[in-house]
Amino acid sequence: MRLFLALELDPREREAIRQATASMRMAAPEASWVSEDNLHLSIKFFGEQPDSAPANLASILAPVGAAHQPFDLRVSGLGAFPNLRAPRVVWMGVQHDPRLELMHHDVEATCAAHGFPLDARAFRPHITLARVRDEMPLANARALALAARAVVYKGAQQVSALSLLESTLGPGGPRYTKVASIPLGGG
């Protein structure tokens, strides 16, 4: 099973993000836009794991969850990796929060201590909105950048758990299923 750790967004927040970014989807229809139900903030990707992994990972990560209190996740701003002129991943930003950075660090350190590889990339919290497989025509990239600049969105929700999600690939895109929940603050 393909597993990753994430902060899930509540349905109200996902719907608001979808509505706020509708003009971007119209500007770049060739991008693979993430379905509303799949919007989340990734913390760590584990890749293919045995069926016993969810219980094992939940046990390993329970102390990390207990050590971190629930907090407000604030989202705003739009961008792309590497940039909006040549987008590969279109994203909504997550405001800097030292609690999120510390939690990510603790997840990485705990997982590394249990034999999981460290993520070599810097943690840049974001919510993936779309992926672009082939180079986007310049006119479409410009239209996407203009649409992104016009979006004024600020959202917030409380995060009270880390979610271990299974990703099942299918012809209509991935489907995510929660296989474990690690409460924050020991709740």
Q: Please count the other Cβ atoms lying within 10 Å of the Cβ belonging to residue 47.
A: 11
The phi and psi torsions of 49 (rounded to 5 degrees) equal -135, 160
Percent of the chain at pLDDT exceeding 70 = 99
Q: How far apart are the first and last CA of the chain?
A: 27
Three-state SS for 137-183 is CHHHHHHHHHHHHHCCCEEEEEECEEEEEEEECCCCCCEEEEEEEEE
How far apart CA 9 and CA 107 sit, in angstroms, is 19
Amino acid symbol at 72: D
Helix, strand, or coil (residue 46): strand
118-137 pLDDT, tens digit each: 998 899 999 999 999 998 98
Residue 80 has pLDDT above 80, yes or no: yes
What average pLDDT score do residues 6-25 get?
A: 97
Structure token pair of residue 143 = 């239209």
Report how far residue 65's alpha carbon sits from residue 38's, in angstroms, rounded to the nearest whole number: 22
CA distance 143 to 171: 28
Buried b (16+ CB within 10 A) or exposed e, 83-105: ebeebeebbbbbeeeeebeebbe
Q: What pLDDT shows up at residue 186?
A: 72
Task: Return the pLDDT at 187.
Answer: 64
User: In angstroms, rounded to a whole number, what is the distance separating the alpha carbons of residues 46 and 179?
Assistant: 13
Residue 164: is its pLDDT beyond 80?
Answer: yes
Average predicted confidence (pLDDT) for the chain: 95
What is d(CA 107, CA 155) in angstroms, rounded to the nearest whole number?
Answer: 25
Decide if 119 contacts 30 (C-beta within 8 A): no
Catalogue all structural domains in the chain, each as residue range(s) with its CATH number: 2-186 (3.90.1140.10)
